[in-house]
Amino acid sequence: MKLSSKNLIISLILLIFISSICISGVNAHKYEKTGYVTKVIDGDTIKISGEKRSIRLWGVDTPELKTSKGKAIKKSVSKKLLGKKVTLDIDNKKKHDKYSRILAKVYLNGKDVNKWLLNKKYARVMYIPPSEFKRYTGGLTTSQWKKYTKTTVKPAKNIRATSSKGV
């Protein structure tokens, strides 16, 4: 069976079109930055080489460092990430939080670190629109979060507690 030059051209165009669709499906995550984790600030904030700003892991919230759980989670995240090469998928709809930290999904060897925090019950879901990403599911329940975030640090003397209203 002989192909005419017209049929050959159409076949080549179709082959190129189908190949481009297949290739774009393979690269599902658009990694916008890559670097080595140089510092773990807390369970949901890191620093990477080549970036001046801190990276805030998108979609998750871990207990603060003033809690025993917060300290333990920072230690786990440090063990998992410190010195390792990570890739970032930066939220294109909201690139920075109010503290100018970069909002991103962080990947280690292609695995979603943010999701790992939720699966290990180290974090709760924190979704602040707008975002290019879909909201995570899982993580700490409300009752677990309340238990995890209880402070283990006694307040310093001569400091009065203030109401959180209006803050």
Rounded to two decimals, what is the model's pTM?
0.71
Topology classification of domain 33-148: OB fold (Dihydrolipoamide Acetyltransferase, E2P) (2.40.50)
Tokens of 37: 């984790």
Give average pLDDT by consecutive 10-residue segment, the chain, 167 residues. Answer: 68 65 48 93 97 97 92 97 98 95 97 96 92 90 80 44 33
Catalytic site positions? 56, 64, 101
Buried b (16+ CB within 10 A) or exposed e, 30-67: eeebebebeebebbbbbbbeeeeebbbbbbbbbbbeeb
In angstroms, the CA 48 to CA 34 distance is 8
Residue 54's nearest CA partner among 75, 68, 33 is: 33
Per-residue confidence (pLDDT) for residue 141, from 0 to 100? 84
The residue length of the chain stands at 167
Per-residue confidence (pLDDT) for residue 102, from 0 to 100? 97
